[in-house]
Every structure is written in structure tokens, then in C-alpha cells.
Chains A and B, each alone.
Chain A
């Protein structure tokens, strides 16, 4: 009965959400330690400051920000782990921190730095436990597990103790554990942290395919911009708890970046004076240079170089997304 209404509404709605933590100040030294036993100065830190956004069904959104920006705190509030200090949020029509079973059965959270798998037992035992907790019928459990095990290529390791698995294998198993009940919303907090490039790519490919096929709404935090570039069309950037940008990744690049990078290799040495006329030198060795040139002028400069200089190879690159994000954080600090 409510389904048509829900389809028209965003699946995640956040309104003026804030979270303040309290902590105590303690100065170093024995005397200060003794003093703090009797009196401590209570301080407050605003982890999330009045943020609002909404996310539509099936979207895959990158949640970006430096360490301590408030990304994880926001995800924890949206998954009901933490109560907010003020503001409202609804996920799938539920208030997350009310921790209703109906809601909890429809979402999952994977935290790259925490695991839910039993360390000393094979991953399969944890999957069976989740099957019972989420009341997944036997047939559905078998079907979903078979499907995920093939997709993530973990069929051979299901019966191996978790502590004997590599980090990449463990993360794949964590994903399976989180997806066995077919959640509609998936929160991923740094799912590729610490993984090698091959494993990172495997996880990305899997998430891309899973999102495309199952239309699961995914909110992803990551410090690896490759994750965001590969997976998310939309990004939300927060810093010091405040929302700084909410929009398309392409628009973000257009808004903040007005140049491209020309990476040129020469067949013989080229002087810096010759190159300075063409653009701003970012890196230089005698036979290689990276030049920063205005976006609108990039093709023209490349053509000039080809005719005027002993060019062996030339590449026109976009500015790495890491640099864009770094620039935004530095500008707004």
C-alpha cells in the first residue's frame, strides 16, 4: 500500500542533522593526571554540523572528507548506531536510531576497519548466523550465497578459518555477510582500506555490478579517489562536519578545476624557458615535463608543442580527483 509513495520519495532523507561529542581535556604530566581525578574540563566537538541531503533509490553516492570530517559519524547515525544531537533523518521511511527490526532487515553496513565475521571460525559459520538473525529462508540463503560466492570468487574459501584469509578475501566475505539478506540500502565505510590494487579493483567491479543489477542504494566513504571515480556519479563532501558540496562528480571537476595537465616526453633535452611560454611547469626532468594549461587552451598548446618541440609522446590528462578534493579542503579551511 505504501510502496508507490515510497518510490516517489528519496530513500534517504537527512534534515539538519547534527552530532556533538563530549570529551574531557587532560593535560600531560603526573600532577595534571592527579588533578584530573578530581576535576576535568569538559569539551565538546561538533562532528556533524547541521547537514541536509537526500538520496534517491538506486543511487551510488560517494561521501568524501578528510579524517575526522564526520563521514563515519553520519553513516553511524543513518544506520542507527548513534543518536543525533539534533535534526532528523529517515532511511527507507524509518528513523534509524529507533532501531526497528523492519528497518534493520532492509539495510546493511560494512566497515572496512571492523569485522563481523568470527575470527576463529570459517566464514560460512558467520553466514549461517546472519541467515538466522535476518530470518532468511533456506532456499533464498542458498541462492544468494551461491550467487555472491561466484561473483566475488570465494567459493573455495567458505570453509577456511577467517583468521587464515587475506585482507582482500576477508573483505569479500564481509560483503557477502552484509548482503545475504538482500538489503535495499548499503552503507560502506572505507570498504577497500588496506587492500592491494587488484583486490580494490575486484571490490569496485563487484559493487558496480551489484548496484546495477539489484538497484541497491549505496553510500560509500573512501579515502581512495579511484573508488569514487569508478563507482559514484554523485559525491557529497563534508569537512569539519559541515556539508561543502553535494552534486555530480563531473560538475565538481568543472567547478573547481579550470586546467588540464599535459604530460610530454621529448626525444632530446628541452629548456625550461621554452616550456614556460606554454604553461605552468608542475614537474620537469630534462626529457619530460608536466605542464598545467587552461582547459580551453589544452588542445592548442598540445598542437603547438607537436610542431615546435621534439615531442616523443604527449598525453592530455584531467587533474587527479585527489588534487581537486585537496584543493577544496584547503580553500575552505
Chain B
């Protein structure tokens, strides 16, 4: 465990080093991100200028949903930094070779090697917006609820990672799956809507086979009391099972790796 902690520390340090090499890019990125989050809020504002609630969801709750979904997305990008999305390229180009020879878990190395530090700044900005929402709309959040929500945000990140891993692992068979990550990004946006607006079948899908609801809906549903606290049990069990499935699938697929010609 200590070894993995040390390796991860180097990944983070390298992320900082990388940021230092391309500082302007980092600041530009933060600015674009703030603008983008602003746009999301503007859309919410426009919708709620026409109606007081959407399937029982008030404006501040949708704000909360939007920012928690953004936090899950940014944290995923920061920790896994697009690493998992690089898997198809690593397979077709044979770049996986060197990782397979290292005395450390290949999946760990492949999926965490690039820590996107600039996303850390964006995440700080997101937490600032979250604090503003809680203060501005006087969202009554008890400490236990906040802890549960935080826990569920972590589950959301793990589920998002697992889903990305499952999809990208398919490239061991299909080699070129260029659209899979674009599709995932599009599907992921479903997590920033109150899923109660969707038909029942789609809602069930978003809580199970395509678990986008974990990226925003479930944490906010628990935080606002829509879901009872014991629903956390489902979230934890599902997250653990989904993560195990993704890792097992990866291990199985790794045996099919045929590298690339030199």
C-alpha cells in the first residue's frame, strides 16, 4: 500500500511539474471552465424563469445538482485525467507494453499515471460555487447529510471511472472505438438533470445499467431528503459491485492483448 501511495505521490508531483511547464494553458483552462459552469447555471436560470419547480425540484436544488455533478466530473478528470480514455490508443499503438512489465498493478499505473493538476484549480472554483449556493439559498444541510453526500460523490467518481473503464476495455476486441468516449460524455450529462423527469424505464436504466444518476442525482437526492439515508447502502453496494465488474473485465481482457508490431 505504501508503494502505491509513493507512486501516486510521484504522479501528483509530475502533474504539478507538467502544469508548471504549461502555465498559460492551465489558467486559460480554469477561465473556460468557470465560463462553462456559468453557462450551465444560466440555462437553469432561464428554465426556472418560466416555472417555479420541475417535478418537485426547486431552483436551488437544481443548482446543487448541477454543481455536484460538475464536482464529480472534474474530480474524475483530475484523478484519472483522461487516462482511461487513452486505453484504446495504448492498445493499438502497443504503448501498454511497458506498463505490463512493471512490478505494480497495470490498471493502477494506466489509469492514474497522469494527474491533471489544472483540474484541481477548477475543482477549487467548483467548491467555491457550492459554498455560494449553500449560503445564497440557505440550503439547510445537516452535518450527517453533508458527510453522506460527500461519500456519495466519491461513489459517483468510482462509478464514472468504472463505466469509462468498462467501455474502453472493449477496445481489446474492437481496437478502434473512437466514438465510445464521446458517447459516454453525452450520456454522462444525463446525470445533471433530476432523473424524475425521465420515463420510468430510463430512470431505472440510469440507476442500474447506465448509472449516470450516481454522478449527481443520488447525492442531491440524499442531501435534500428525497432519498432516505439508508439508500446509501444501495449506492455503496452498487459502486463496489460495478467497480469489481470493471476490474475483472479489464483483467480478463488483458489476456487478449496482442501488442503492436515494432
Contact, CB under 8 Å: B17 / A79:
no
Distance in angstroms between the alpha carbons of A129 and B104 in the assembled complex:
12
Cβ contact of A81, chosen from B10, B22, B101, cutoff 8 A = B101
Contact, CB under 8 Å: A114 / B101:
no
Residue of A with least CB distance to B5 = A132
- CB-contacts of A78-116 with B (<8 A): 79-83, 99, 101-102, 104-105, 107-109, 111, 113-114, 116
Contact, CB under 8 Å: B102 / A133:
yes
Residue of A with least CB distance to B17 = A121
Distance in angstroms between the alpha carbons of A141 and B97 in the assembled complex:
24
Distance in angstroms between the alpha carbons of A323 and B214 in the assembled complex:
65
B49 within 8 A of A: no
Q: A81: which B residues are within 8 A, CB to CB?
A: 97, 100-101, 257, 259
Distance in angstroms between the alpha carbons of A128 and B8 in the assembled complex:
12
Distance in angstroms between the alpha carbons of A121 and B22 in the assembled complex:
11
Distance in angstroms between the alpha carbons of A105 and B97 in the assembled complex:
16
Contact, CB under 8 Å: A189 / B262:
yes
Contact, CB under 8 Å: A133 / B14:
no
Distance in angstroms between the alpha carbons of A81 and B262 in the assembled complex:
13
Interface string of B89-117 (1 = CB under 8 A from A): 00000110110111110000100000000
Contact, CB under 8 Å: A129 / B10:
yes
Residue of B with least CB distance to A104 = B103
Contact, CB under 8 Å: A111 / B255:
no
B6 within 8 A of A: yes
B16 to chain A, nearest CB (A): 10
Cβ contact of A125, chosen from B6, B7, B17, B109, cutoff 8 A = B17
- CB-contacts of A53-92 with B (<8 A): 68, 72, 76, 79-83
Contact, CB under 8 Å: B7 / A76:
no
Contact, CB under 8 Å: B21 / A135:
no
Contact, CB under 8 Å: B258 / A104:
no
Contact, CB under 8 Å: A109 / B3:
no
Interface centre among B7, B9, B100, B103 (most CB of A within 10 A): B103
B193 within 8 A of A: no
Contact, CB under 8 Å: B262 / A82:
no
Q: A246: which B residues are within 8 A, CB to CB?
A: none
- Given contacts A72-B262, A125-B14, A132-B3, are A120 and B100 in contact (CB under 8 A)? no
Number of interface residues of B (CB under 8 A): 28
B127 within 8 A of A: no
Q: B86: which A residues are within 8 A, CB to CB?
A: none
Contact, CB under 8 Å: A21 / B101:
no
- Given contacts A114-B94, A129-B7, A132-B3, are A76 and B259 in contact (CB under 8 A)? yes
A201 within 8 A of B: no
Distance in angstroms between the alpha carbons of A114 and B93 in the assembled complex:
10
A190 within 8 A of B: yes
Contact, CB under 8 Å: B101 / A80:
yes
Contact, CB under 8 Å: B7 / A132:
yes
Distance in angstroms between the alpha carbons of A111 and B94 in the assembled complex:
11
A118 within 8 A of B: yes
B26 to chain A, nearest CB (A): 13
Residue of B with least CB distance to A99 = B100
A191 to chain B, nearest CB (A): 12
Q: A116: which B residues are within 8 A, CB to CB?
A: 98
Q: A190: which B residues are within 8 A, CB to CB?
A: 262
Q: B208: which A residues are within 8 A, CB to CB?
A: none
A102 to chain B, nearest CB (A): 8
- CB-contacts of B9-27 with A (<8 A): 9-11, 13-14, 17-18, 21-22
Closest 6 CB pairs of A and B: A104-B103, A101-B103, A132-B6, A72-B262, A116-B98, A129-B10
* 20 sample A-B contacts, Cβ–Cβ < 8 Å, listed by A number: A72-B261, A76-B259, A81-B257, A101-B104, A104-B102, A107-B101, A114-B97, A114-B262, A120-B22, A121-B14, A125-B10, A125-B14, A128-B13, A129-B7, A129-B10, A129-B14, A132-B7, A132-B9, A133-B104, A133-B109
Contacts A129-B10, A190-B262 aside, 15 further interface pairs with beta carbons under 8 A come to A68-B261, A81-B257, A82-B258, A104-B102, A108-B101, A111-B97, A118-B14, A120-B18, A125-B17, A132-B9, A133-B102, A133-B103, A133-B104, A134-B102, A135-B3
